[in-house]
């Protein structure tokens, strides 16, 4: 079978992904093997693939493919999240385009449109993940609103309510006026914005003079109609005369008291604080302390209601501008200043958040947080990198009750059933609720029918379904002892973003403890944020986020996977640039060309193998690299694991080994070298496969490796196990590589043709047996001789490797001035190097804490540098420098 001159990724990707699917390579069922399980962080059904998804899912696929190749039963469960707020907004927008308003629909009618939207658009992101090569068990795809998973959510609510962990009450919440729903603290994005600071005059009650007023600074003049008091610090001498006084709210002339509280900072603003309990969390707590009335002047959509008395029906920001004019006209506006401050925006709709008192459902978190914290502190769950443990601990030790209700229709409807008198019962269905009513003596006297019960309109927070994800995807609520949950749970690794460490990860740990008495996963790999090369977070608004599918089209899926991982150390943000993907594509081309080179060789069975040293060296180098790769994976250093693989393939195999053993152009190669090289290449494909699944599978099936059966695929090939490592040979060949590099440098600096053969003389001060490497050095250095000498060689270009001296005789006369300058420069470098080594060895802290082998390395560096300096001094003296 011939191989094309260039790699054609598009054809390869489509061919092999279809092949893997057709032959069930991604499929997993419980068996006798050790399971390895990952559950996907379910992307929103509204989502399309972005760079964060690319990074997250590339990491997951690398881990799952490695596990599969280690003989484990690898199961990667995919799925999507119903994303209440985002999806409802999409459906409302779709209806608006059709001339339909949500308020004109019944709940049932609206939900039918929502399901229509979900069926049309909800699977887009999963299809896009397939382009990346994601090897999920697609037969296991779950959705947080499917019947079984929704049942699990409702059962969980009922269970926690019975335990007293869920309650209903009026609390201050983050209100999204556009989505018309409460949102959690984690769904609020803080942004610094330019605002105006309005200084407003409040006339003091009981005085006739127009000059008797106090001034309050606020960024929200539209809320003055909700003021319940003005607060001053009791120690503020400027306002001692106001103790016990009252003031009038301008424009509406409602009288409010001046209260005293040390909460007010005297040196901020005017030292006077307007207290608006209905529209600020801190004001609410202050109002509770001082028994102030709560006056809510805003409707759910952010317009002013009748309680405002003026500007009723106006949108809040329009009202702000108009009230500023009214205040100025009334002489109640002292001044206006530019002001910068941070305000909250809804993550889903980007609307400015309103603090709002609202009747909501809450889940108590204290009781569940403690064991979830212990799991991490005790090491049963490992956070990677460990630096996030302190963040996790802080959150869990300062946990607040979770507002779990949302004022939406898309989601799991809260199973609370209200009687006409406002009381409620908790039940899964109307029938079960009615049974409870009949069983309750007080309720039964009301002579109610089932139709008299009204279900709570609210749905549960989307996270109230996704915190059950590792259990519910295996039907662990529907059937707590089924084969899947018993085999796959707890899962192994979770890969997600640090910003949802509390949002989702901590809550899954709580749910795992509450419902299974176990952790849901053993390791949590926390990725960084994908940023552009200027360090800015990628976003649509900045226009700095590339389309992942366009990147795949341009650089190949393998190229993009490599590009993402090259710059993504765990937990640290990555500065992404297209050049990384280009590097990944070039790496693929390098592998392809190396394969074509080997495949193009002819074998002559009569030839003897003269490449024993090169073969033994690469065998040791491969085993050494394999230990590095395995160690990096064990510590979840995927970027470093890829880089170790990259260097092994590009540098050691392509740039050195193949050059060492390749025959002269159009000449054959011996059988043993050829077969060992093909075997090396096969192992290289195996370790590359998790990173670059498509090109490796394509090459795996080439006739070079012999005939393969339909199921003999790279995706399930067993990863190689490292063997013996000849450390002395590795060290010697590193010297050989330096020698060849120095010879090439001399050719470049002296403008000597690469085709012109040179001679090399060696004055060996070390124990390296150069005759063992003579074939390699003469071949790669293009030498006609390699001689061992006991004295320096005159009229020759010289260099040192370790403590050995090398001379390349030149036909031209050596320029002693230039040679002196070169030696002086090398001497300066060595003196600086030696100084840094001595500084480290003279550091008491380093010597006390460093491992003995580390200290031994530094001592060897010192000895080598001193030996080199001694030889340099001799050379300088010989040249009379």
Could you count the other beta carbons within 10 Å of the beta carbon of residue 81? 25
Q: DSSP assignment of 234-278, as one string?
A: TT-GGGGGGTT-EEE-TTT--EEEEEE-TTS-TTSTTSEEEE-TT
Query: Coil, helix or strand for 442?
Result: helix
Q: Are 254 and 244 in contact (CB under 8 A)?
A: no
- Asked whether the predicted pLDDT for residue 9 surpasses 70, the reply is yes
Average of per-residue pLDDT across 498-518: 95
pLDDT tens digit sequence for 787-802: 999 888 888 888 989 8
pLDDT tens digit sequence for 155-199: 999 999 999 999 999 888 999 999 889 988 878 889 999 999 999
- Asked whether the predicted pLDDT for residue 698 surpasses 90, the reply is yes
The pLDDT assigned to 16 comes to: 98
Whole-angstrom distance, CA of residue 259 vs CA of residue 229: 7
The pLDDT assigned to 856 comes to: 82
DSSP 311: S
Whole-angstrom distance, CA of residue 385 vs CA of residue 599: 43
Average of per-residue pLDDT across 323-334: 95
The pLDDT assigned to 878 comes to: 67
Q: Are 796 and 822 in contact (CB under 8 A)?
A: no
Residue tagged 């697609």 (tokens): 138
The pLDDT assigned to 879 comes to: 66
Q: Which helix H or strand E contains 835, and what residues bound it?
A: helix 816-841
Give residues with Cβ within 8 angstroms of 330, minimum separation 6: 250, 251
Residue tagged 């077969």 (tokens): 675
For residue 491, the cross-strand partners are 521
Average of per-residue pLDDT across 662-690: 97
| Strand ranges, E, within 544-662 | 574-575, 603-604
- At 732, phi and psi to the nearest 5? -65, -45
Average of per-residue pLDDT across 89-102: 93
The pLDDT assigned to 226 comes to: 96
Proportion of the chain above pLDDT 90, given as a percent: 75
- Asked whether the predicted pLDDT for residue 1 surpasses 60, the reply is no
End-to-end Cα separation, the chain, in angstroms: 63
pLDDT tens digit sequence for 27-64: 999 999 999 999 999 999 988 888 888 999 999 999 99
Choice between 843 and 589, residue whose per-residue pLDDT is larger: 589
Whole-angstrom distance, CA of residue 255 vs CA of residue 273: 16
Whole-angstrom distance, CA of residue 401 vs CA of residue 368: 11
Whole-angstrom distance, CA of residue 140 vs CA of residue 433: 34
Q: How confident is the model at residue 332 (pLDDT cuts 50, 70, 90)?
A: very high
The pLDDT assigned to 317 comes to: 96
Choice between 378 and 861, residue whose per-residue pLDDT is larger: 378
pLDDT tens digit sequence for 134-164: 999 999 999 999 999 999 999 999 999 999 9
Whole-angstrom distance, CA of residue 548 vs CA of residue 560: 8
The pLDDT assigned to 873 comes to: 75
Q: Which tokens sit at 72?
A: 């484990």
The pLDDT assigned to 842 comes to: 86
The pLDDT assigned to 421 comes to: 86
- Asked whether the predicted pLDDT for residue 539 surpasses 80, the reply is no
Distances in Å between the Cα of 616 and the Cα atoms of 610, 626, 705, 730, 795 are 12, 15, 21, 9, 37
Question: Strands 416-418, 424-426: parallel, antiparallel or unpaired by DSSP?
Answer: antiparallel
What is the pLDDT of the chain when averaged over all its residues?
A: 92
Distances in Å between the Cα of 643 and the Cα atoms of 593, 650, 714 are 20, 10, 21
Q: DSSP assignment of 724-748, as one string?
A: ---HHHHHHHHHHHHHHHHHHHHHH
Choice between 862 and 778, residue whose per-residue pLDDT is larger: 778
At what angle are helices 612-634 and 774-781 packed, to 10 degrees?
A: 90
Q: Are 445 and 423 in contact (CB under 8 A)?
A: no
Cα torsion through 654, 655, 658, 659, rounded to 10: 160
Distance of CA 873 to the CA centre of its chain: 54
Q: Which helix H or strand E contains 358, and what residues bound it?
A: strand 354-363
DSSP 41: -
Distance of CA 817 to the CA centre of its chain: 56
The pLDDT assigned to 785 comes to: 92
Q: DSSP assignment of 327-356, as one string?
A: HHHTT-EEEEEEEEEEEEEETTT-PBPEEE
Could you count the other beta carbons within 10 Å of the beta carbon of residue 835? 11
Average of per-residue pLDDT across 537-562: 86
Distances in Å between the Cα of 698 and the Cα atoms of 14, 155, 647, 705 are 11, 48, 22, 12
At what angle are helices 578-599 and 548-555 packed, to 10 degrees?
A: 30
Q: Are 272 and 243 in contact (CB under 8 A)?
A: no
Phi-psi region of 7 (alpha: psi -120 to 50; beta: other; left: phi over 0): beta
Q: Are 335 and 217 in contact (CB under 8 A)?
A: no
The pLDDT assigned to 353 comes to: 95
The pLDDT assigned to 125 comes to: 92
Whole-angstrom distance, CA of residue 396 vs CA of residue 366: 8
Whole-angstrom distance, CA of residue 697 vs CA of residue 7: 13
Q: How confident is the model at residue 830 (pLDDT cuts 50, 70, 90)?
A: confident
Q: Rounded to the nearest 5 degrees, what angle is found at the Cα of 538, between the Cα atoms of 540 and 128?
A: 75
Least confident range of 356-365, 407-416, 804-813:
804-813
Q: How confident is the model at residue 371 (pLDDT cuts 50, 70, 90)?
A: very high
Q: Which tokens sit at 538?
A: 């990628």
Q: DSSP assignment of 153-177, as one string?
A: HHHHHHHHHHTT-EEEEEEEEEEET
Distances in Å between the Cα of 169 and the Cα atoms of 161, 166, 292, 709 are 14, 10, 19, 65
Give exposure, 765-792, as e/b (b: 16+ Cβ within 10 Å): eeebebeebbbbbbbbbbbeebeeeeee
Instruction: Look up the pTM and report it.
Output: 0.85
Query: Coil, helix or strand for 716?
Result: helix
Closest to 52 measured CA to CA, from 415, 546, 677, 489: 546
- Asked whether the predicted pLDDT for residue 394 surpasses 90, the reply is yes
Q: How confident is the model at residue 627 (pLDDT cuts 50, 70, 90)?
A: very high
Q: How confident is the model at residue 540 (pLDDT cuts 50, 70, 90)?
A: low
Average of per-residue pLDDT across 512-527: 97
Average of per-residue pLDDT across 260-279: 92
Q: Are 551 and 577 in contact (CB under 8 A)?
A: no
The pLDDT assigned to 81 comes to: 96
Q: How confident is the model at residue 638 (pLDDT cuts 50, 70, 90)?
A: very high
Proportion of the chain above pLDDT 70, given as a percent: 98
Residue tagged 């003279």 (tokens): 842
Q: How confident is the model at residue 870 (pLDDT cuts 50, 70, 90)?
A: confident
Q: Which tokens sit at 46?
A: 């509204």
Whole-angstrom distance, CA of residue 179 vs CA of residue 71: 48
Q: Rounded to the nearest 5 degrees, what angle is found at the Cα of 391, between the Cα atoms of 64 and 576?
A: 55
């Amino acid at each position: 079978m011939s191989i094309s001159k260039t790699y054609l990724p598009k054809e390869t990707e489509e061919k092999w992904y279809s092949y893997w699917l057709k032959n069930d390579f991604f499929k997993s069922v419980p068996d006798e093997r050790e399971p390895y399980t990952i559950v996907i962080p379910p992307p929103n059904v509204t989502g399309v693939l972005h760079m964060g998804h690319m990074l997250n899912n590339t990491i997951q696929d690398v881990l799952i493919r490695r596990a599969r190749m280690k003989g484990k039963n690898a199961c990667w469960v995919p799925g999507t999240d119903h994303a209440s707020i985002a999806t409802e907004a999409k459906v409302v927008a779709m209806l608006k385009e059709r001339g339909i308003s949500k308020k004109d629909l019944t709940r049932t009618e609206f939900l039918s449109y929502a399901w229509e939207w979900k069926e049309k658009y909800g699977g887009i992101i999963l299809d896009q993940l397939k382009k990346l090569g994601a090897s999920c068990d697609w037969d296991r795809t779950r959705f947080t609103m499917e019947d079984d998973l929704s049942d699990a959510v409702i059962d969980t609510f009922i269970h926690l309510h019975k335990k007293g962990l869920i309650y209903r009450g009026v609390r201050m919440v983050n209100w999204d006026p556009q989505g018309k729903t409460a949102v959690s603290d984690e769904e609020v994005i803080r942004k610094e914005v330019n605002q105006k600071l309005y200084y407003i005059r409040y006339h003091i009650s009981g005085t006739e003079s127009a000059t008797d007023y106090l001034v309050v600074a606020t960024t929200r003049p539209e809320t003055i109609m909700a003021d319940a008091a003005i607060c001053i610090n009791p120690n503020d001498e400027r306002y001692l005369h106001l103790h016990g006084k009252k003031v009038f709210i301008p424009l509406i002339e409602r009288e409010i008291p001046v209260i005293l509280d040390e909460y007010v900072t005297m040196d901020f603003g005017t030292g006077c604080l307007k207290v608006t309990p209905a529209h600020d969390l801190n004001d609410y707590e202050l109002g509770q302390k001082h028994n102030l009335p709560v006056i809510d002047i805003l409707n759910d959509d952010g317009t002013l209601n009748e309680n405002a008395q003026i500007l009723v029906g106006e949108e809040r920001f329009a009202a702000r501008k108009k009230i500023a004019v009214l205040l100025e006209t009334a002489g109640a506006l002292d001044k206006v200043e530019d002001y910068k401050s941070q305000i909250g925006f809804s993550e889903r709709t980007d609307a400015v958040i309103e603090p709002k008192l609202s009747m909501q459902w809450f889940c108590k978190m204290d009781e569940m947080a403690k064991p979830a914290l212990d799991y991490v502190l005790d090491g049963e769950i490992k956070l990677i990198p460990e630096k996030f443990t302190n963040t996790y601990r802080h959150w869990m030790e300062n946990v607040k009750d979770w507002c779990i209700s949302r004022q939406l229709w898309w989601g799991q409807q809260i199973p609370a059933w209200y009687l006409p008198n406002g009381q409620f019962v908790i039940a899964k269905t109307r029938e079960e609720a009615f049974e409870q009513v009949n069983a309750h003596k007080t309720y039964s006297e009301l002579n109610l029918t089932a139709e008299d019960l009204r279900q709570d309109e609210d749905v549960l927070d989307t996270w109230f379904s996704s915190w059950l994800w590792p259990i519910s995807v295996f039907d662990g609520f529907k059937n707590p002892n089924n084969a899947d949950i018993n085999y796959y749970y707890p899962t192994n690794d979770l890969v997600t973003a640090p910003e949802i460490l509390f949002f989702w990860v901590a809550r899954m740990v709580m749910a795992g403890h509450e419902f299974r008495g176990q952790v849901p996963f053993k390791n949590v790999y926390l990725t960084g944020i994908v940023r552009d090369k200027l360090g800015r977070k990628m976003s649509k608004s900045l226009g700095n986020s590339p389309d992942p599918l366009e990147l795949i089209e341009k650089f190949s899926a393998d190229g993009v996977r490599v590009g993402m991982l090259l710059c993504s150390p765990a937990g640290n943000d990555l500065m992404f640039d297209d050049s990384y993907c280009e590097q990944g594509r070039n790496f693929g081309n390098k592998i392809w060309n190396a394969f074509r080179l080997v495949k193009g060789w002819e074998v002559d069975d009569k030839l003897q193998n003269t490449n024993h040293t090169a073969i033994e060296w690469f065998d040791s180098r491969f085993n050494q690299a394999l230990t590095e790769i395995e160690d990096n994976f064990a510590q979840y250093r995927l970027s470093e694991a890829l880089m170790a693989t990259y260097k092994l393939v590009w540098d050691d195999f392509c740039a050195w080994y193949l050059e060492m053993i390749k025959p002269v152009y159009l000449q054959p190669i011996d059988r043993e070298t050829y077969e060992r090289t093909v075997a090396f290449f096969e192992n290289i494909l195996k370790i590359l496969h998790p990173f670059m699944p498509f090109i490796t599978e394509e090459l795996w099936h080439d006739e070079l490796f012999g005939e393969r059966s339909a199921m003999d695929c790279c995706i399930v090939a067993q990863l190689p196990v490292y063997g013996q490592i000849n450390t002395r040979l590795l060290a010697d060949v590193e010297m050989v590589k330096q020698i060849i590099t120095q010879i090439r440098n001399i050719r470049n600096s002296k403008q000597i043709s690469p085709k012109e053969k040179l001679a090399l003389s060696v004055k060996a001060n070390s124990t390296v047996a150069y005759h063992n490497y003579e074939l390699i050095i003469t071949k790669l250095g293009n030498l006609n001789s390699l001689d061992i000498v006991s004295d320096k060689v005159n009229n020759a270009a010289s260099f040192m490797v370790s403590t050995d001296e090398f001379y390349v005789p030149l036909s031209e006369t050596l320029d002693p001035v230039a040679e002196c300058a070169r030696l002086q420069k090398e001497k300066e470098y060595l003196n600086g190097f030696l100084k840094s080594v001595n500084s480290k060895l003279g550091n008491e802290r380093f010597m006390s804490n460093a491992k003995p082998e580390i200290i031994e390395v530094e001592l060897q560096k010192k000895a080598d540098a001193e030996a080199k300096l001694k030889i340099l001094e001799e050379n300088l003296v010989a040249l009379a420098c």
